[in-house]
Amino acid sequence: MKRVYLTGFMGAGKTTVGRALAEQLCVPMIDTDSYIEEKIGKPIKQIFVEEGEAAFRRYEREFLRTLPPDKRIVTTGGGMVIQPENREWMKQTGMVIYLHCDFAEIMRRIADDDTRPLLSNQLEDLQRLWEQRLPYYSEAHIVIDTTGKRVEEVVQEIMEWIKKTENRQE
């Protein structure tokens, strides 16, 4: 099985779905946010406050290239796609799956979460960010709309895509 990258906006369910998917497929997964936190030794929120967003984006670019090769499912942070070289790297080294979700549902899912520094922005700014990023997310090999779906349904859909893609390669 090729490496699978999950992309999408904050709250699309990348980390949750990726964990469940890895369990079902019995393959190792890694979350780029957790990897950065472990490497740098502080939570993302603290990195943003002490070093700024630009430093976090540098870590994303650098660490994407050093992920342990055995990790088959890679769940990314919502901003991983901002840098064109990251989009290119992911497309070249695996199958990129974009988990889409309506903005309103995204906000319902994560509004109370205080671990995401960008959520302190005004709602209109967040919606603008969501819109700005849509074309980047859409460069993925596969797009899955998660709006109104349960985590298990999304996992099932991804499993079917992986099967289809593997059959085509045989």
Ligand X SMILES: Nc1ncnc2c1ncn2[C@@H]1O[C@H](COP(=O)(O)OP(=O)(O)O)[C@@H](O)[C@H]1O
Ligand Y SMILES: O=C(O)C1=C[C@@H](OP(=O)(O)O)[C@@H](O)[C@H](O)C1
Name the residues that contact ligand X, by CB under 6 A: 8, 10-16, 109-110, 146, 149-151, 154
Contact between 15 and ligand Y per CB under 6 A: yes
The size of the interface with ligand Y (CB under 6 A), counted in residues, is 11
Residue number with CB closer to Mg ion (14 or 149): 14
Residue number with CB closer to ligand X (12 or 95): 12
Q: Tell me, letter by letter, the H, E, C secondary structure of 27-78.
A: CCEEEHHHHHHHHHCCCHHHHHHHHCHHHHHHHHHHHHCCCCCCCCEEECCC
Q: Which of residues 100-159 bind ligand Y (CB under 6 A)?
A: 116-118
* Nearest residue to ligand Y, by Cβ distance, number only: 77
Contacts of residue 156, defined as CB under 8 A and 6 or more positions apart, other chains included, come to none
Q: How far apart are CA 158 and CA 35, in angstroms?
A: 23
Q: Which residues contribute to the site for ligand Y (CB under 6 A)?
A: 10, 14-15, 33, 44, 77-79, 116-118
